[in-house]
Structure 1
Amino acid sequence: MKTKEYTNGEITILWKPDLCTHSGICVKTLPKVYNPQERPWIKMENATSQEMIDQVAKCPSGALSIKKEEI
């Protein structure tokens, strides 16, 4: 299963497109971050790490997850 990674240096969002059910919760919750029409479709600079963590926790399919960066 392929996984795409998006990072802001503090956290990394892992996206597994094969699991995504396209519920739209990510886009509705943080529209400045998630835009399926653009590439890259996740723009992490438009939200804080905590906002991203809170939003990813709402993903019903498990397609989005968080990996914290080691310092």
Structure 2
Amino acid sequence: METHEYSNGEITILWTPKKCIHSGICVQTLPKVYNPKDRPWIKPNNATTEELIDQVSKCPSVALRIK
């Protein structure tokens, strides 16, 4: 399954599009990081590592993970 990686230098967010159920929790929680209209749509440098870990843990489909 295709997975995309976005790093802030400390952690890497893994996104697997086929698992995404588009709940919108990521966009609602950290809109400066997740913007589906931008490319790349995930900008992990716009939040702290702690904020990213907390938000990714709330992804209901596990389409977002931390590496």
TM interval, shorter chain, is: over 0.9
Structure 1: tracts of 5 or more residues without a match:
none
> Which position in structure 2 is the counterpart of 1:22?
22
Give deviations 1:4-26, integer Å, cap 9, x for gaps: 00001100000000000000000
Q: Deviation per CA, 1:2-60, whole angstroms, max 9, x where unpaired?
A: 00000011000000000000000000000010000010000111100010000000000
- In the alignment, the residues of structure 1 paired with residue 32 and residue 55 of structure 2 have an alpha-carbon distance, to the nearest angstrom, of 12
Moved over 6 A (4+): none
AA of the residue aligned to 1:54? D
Identity of aligned residues (%): 73
Number of residues paired by the alignment?
A: 67
Kindly name which structure, 1 or 2, has the bigger radius of gyration based on alpha carbons.
1
TM-score (norm 1): 0.93
Where do 5+ consecutive residues of structure 2 fail to align?
A: none
Q: Report the TM-score when normalising by structure 2.
A: 0.98
Alpha-carbon distance between aligned partners in 1 of 2:44 and 2:19, rounded to the nearest angstrom: 21
Counterpart for residue 52 of structure 1? 52
Residue 62 of structure 2 corresponds to 62
